[in-house]
Amino acid sequence: MPVFRFISKSLIRHNGLLFMVEKKYATLLEDKDVLRWYQNVSRGAQSTADVSLRGLGRFCSMTGISPHEVASMSEKQIVGLMLDYVTTLEKNGKTGSIH
């Protein structure tokens, strides 16, 4: 028997384009840089863009760090932050990976 998961969605309009995203993460798209990134990823596959947005949302929620704060970090700081994040996920029984 299939199991269905109902997710509340928001319709986001930007420059004449419509995007349907989970309400929980729709506020991330209010940031023009995040929206630009999301639009670029969605050119390849909408599902990849949605999964990536959820991942960004979970990361920001768990770490308390905004996308702009990450963008202002050095590469070394970002790598360290990601490694610590993956370690935390693994300690919580989640499988982590860095792409």
**pLDDT digit string, tens, across residues 37-72:** 988 998 998 889 888 998 899 899 889 999 989 889
- In the structure encoding, which two tokens stand for residue 54, read together? 């959820």
Domain annotation covers residue 17: no
User: Which amino acid, one-letter code, is at 58?
Assistant: R
Domain annotation covers residue 52: yes
Cβ(22)–Cβ(10) under 8 Å?
A: yes
Structural domain that includes position 50: 28-91
Number of domains observed in the structure of the chain = 1
Domain annotation covers residue 79: yes
For the question of whether the overall pTM of this predicted structure is more than 0.85, the answer is: no
Domain annotation covers residue 81: yes
Residue 1 binned pLDDT confidence (cut-offs 50, 70, 90): very low
Torsion of CA 44, 27, 73, 46, to 10 degrees: -10
Q: At what angle do helices 75-91 and 46-63 cross, to 10 degrees?
A: 90
- In order of 48, 56, 74, the CA distances from 9 in angstroms are 16, 17, 34
Alpha helices (H) along the chain: 23-26, 32-44, 46-63, 67-71, 75-91
Spatial separation of the C-alpha atoms in residues 87 and 28, rounded to whole Å:
25
Tell me which of 2 and 89 has the higher pLDDT. 89
